[in-house]
Chains A and B, each alone.
Chain A
Amino acid sequence: MSELFYDAAPNATRVAPERETDRHYPDKPEAVTLFGTCVVDLFFPEAGLDAIRLLEREGIRVNFPQAQSCCGQPAWTSGYRNEARAVARAQLEVLDRPGLPVVVPSGSCAGMFRHHYRALFADEPDTLKRVEALAERTFELTEFLLKVCRVQLSDQGEPSQIALHTSCSARREMNTHLHARELLGQLDKVERVDHDHESECCGFGGTFSVRMPEVSGAMVNDKTRSLIDSGAVEMVTADGGCLMNINGSLEKQREAFRGRHLASFLWERINGSAAGEVA
């Protein structure tokens, strides 16, 4: 079990803070809605498709409403509350199906539904009820696979060493960073290696990366350096924003090392090297 928990004597400079989750999880449902997120939609669509496949493998029917777009986070974190609210309202409409869990392959977009929509609609009591209901049935993908589906993954891949990058939202808003560890722990040929300052932000922060490129750049440089130095052959993460930031930086630095979305990694591991053909 020690694999699942951060070091007993915590090294604050290296590992994420320990957190217990007190969330109540429902039984496995027949169907879910997948909220793909705009970053996955445009830049990592395979990861979204692999998330659908992982869910279908558990016997769950996946809905993908074509009217979905973005959770509204970019405008919200930029201070444009009204614009964020309009976009959030549109998603609320699309996802307004009581009883149907919403699964999100991103800690930060899931965190938006679960936490920030409350602030967005604080002055609209009626909307707030729907927001609360959405928050209640929103799950980050790894959390949903582990806690609701109770997946059992059987590793078909070759022995490999990987580094896990958890997003700040996954750790601090969703308390779901240990879930990804636990899922990886089920893969018996995968060794998860620690990296330096693992719990530190990769420097993305949405528009922070373009408003403060000097600071953001220093952060992602340090992150990519520690990932490469960890000895892992690749990095996996459950957040598209971090992935875009880290991979974009690696490519700019002409490093061969890359990260990929955890959904794609898991799908490949449980299907062996033939994963690509299963589609």
Chain B
Amino acid sequence: MSQRIPATELSANFRGRAGEALADGQLSSNFRTAMDSLMQKRANAFPDADEREGLRELGNRIKARSLSKLPDLLEQLEQKLTENGVKVHWAETVEEANTLVHNIIEARKGRQVVKGKSMVSEEMEMNDYLAERGIECLESDMGEYIVQLDGEKPSHIIMPAIHKNARQVSKLFHDKLGEPETEDVNQLIQVGRRTLRQKFMEADVGVSGVNFAIAETGTLLLVENEGNGRMSTTVPPVHIAVTGIEKVVANLRDVVPLVSLLTRSALGQPITTYVNLISGPRQPDELDGPEEVHLVLLDNGRSGAFADAQMRQTLNCIRCGACMNHCPVYTRVGGHTYGEVYPGPIGKIITPHMAGLHNVPDHPSASSLCGACGDVCPVKIPIPELLQRLRQENVKNPEEPQLVKGGGAKFSRKERWIWRSWQMLNTRPGLYRLFLWAATRMRALAPSNVGPWTENHSAPVPARRSLHDLAAAHLDSSGETSS
């Protein structure tokens, strides 16, 4: 599972990767153990179901309200941040965002970048972009540091290295850094800490993500547990924050319930160890902080989702990862199977807007629609409903105008014909009863191989008599009509 292949080459083959992941017993076991623990932590963090449901409802409304005035809030955010001395940049595509970041670094002749955890920078593949231009970009989040060291991508949006256990991390540190092997997690963390401490001091630029951008005050809020976020945003002379346009909220009051939902849903924490509120560069009377602060606001398909009232709910996401922790599919196949930056249920509904459905044609189908994700989503994104909607977009005729980029990726005349036949069977009662009659009378002829179904099941054999038949006989004999 340590592939480092461009996402576009992987994306047409979810099933293949799922099969490989399922065959890897260590991987499955790492995920099951970790996800069980995370589900338990979340449950413990919300002991009162009424309080939890009230808070989720509030979170949903705050996000819906913020999105309803998204253009205005973004304008206000830019104005306030500018007043605070933060330079605001807009990027429609990841290429634009990378160019912006690169230009900022080049203007300072920067060669070393230290990065706090940021999923948007993963969207941008910023590390690779900068590396190709001679700039070293080091991940400072422990999990991100581990996956970067191994040339991998994150397998979870909150816990990037969750697919590895302590033994595997120890081996990695031994192989790559020459460290003695140990399964003591604290010792392993010390290894990372030693390396990173030095890098924070040397770095020319610090990059971070943003959890919430507050329009009223021009504040960037960043939660984290390792202190690396604070180091990345305060020690280097330049701080570049990158985030998606959907992260903006109206005011600090809106943030309180959202942060509570985020930390409790993600790791079961009442609050993270660090909550950074960044309002601008170092002021003349201040002792520390960066000389320059930049914010890059990235669209990357988000405005496409925004344009559709139903799909817009995708942008409610506050990136807690609870949907993946509770997903029976993610739990079994892990994050790399999705082949994209955002794995799990949220990845399945957001990636099509970024990469196009044609690049992730199997994503909408990779769900039993069990509903666990929608049940735990802190901002009540109806993920199963949106998956179903994407399935509709997926089977449209590609020659028709598409609402979602790359729609019609699963269009098949053969499958449409099958469903048309199914429709005919189920809308003509006489035909349906004839089918029942034939299937039950000729049950001995039922095929023993029914495609993929018989990979996991014995072949289904129809009963001797259908319920239509039995009910008619029963209700006649008991004197009732069966109209």
Contacts and interface: CB of A to CB of B under 8 A. Distances in A.
Interface of A: 10-13, 17-18, 34, 36, 38, 40-46, 48-49, 52, 56, 61-70, 72, 74-81, 83, 86-87, 89-90, 119, 168-169, 171-173, 200-201, 203-221, 244-245, 248-249, 251-252, 279
B420 interface: yes
Given A12-B42, A208-B365, A214 B475 contact: no
Contacts of A43: 460, 462-463
Secondary structure at chain A's binding surface: helix, strand, loop or mixed?
Answer: helix
Interface in B32-48: 36, 39-40, 42-43
B426 A64 contact: no
A167 to B, nearest CB: 9
Contact of B426 (A42, A87, A209, A244): A87
Contacts of A69: 425-427, 429, 432
A13 B40 contact: yes
B369 A87 contact: no
A219 B480 contact: no
Interface of B: 14-15, 18-19, 22, 28, 36, 39-40, 42-43, 49, 328-329, 332-333, 362, 364-372, 374-375, 385, 388, 390-395, 410, 416, 419-420, 422-423, 425-427, 429, 432-433, 436, 439-440, 451-458, 460, 462-463, 465-472, 474-475, 478, 480-483
Contacts of A119: 385
Secondary structure at chain B's binding surface: helix, strand, loop or mixed?
Answer: helix
Contacts of B465: 45
A245 B110 CA distance: 59
B471 A211 contact: no
A260 B42 CA distance: 34
Nearest to A89: B427
Contacts of B416: 80
Given A172-B371, A216-B456, A45 B22 contact: no
Contacts of A249: 456-457
Given A13-B40, A201-B370, A49 B419 contact: no
Given A42-B440, A43-B460, A66 B391 contact: no
B478 A56 contact: yes
B155 to A, nearest CB: 16
Nearest to B433: A66
B474 A49 contact: yes
Contact of A18 (B49, B333, B456): B49
A205 B366 contact: no
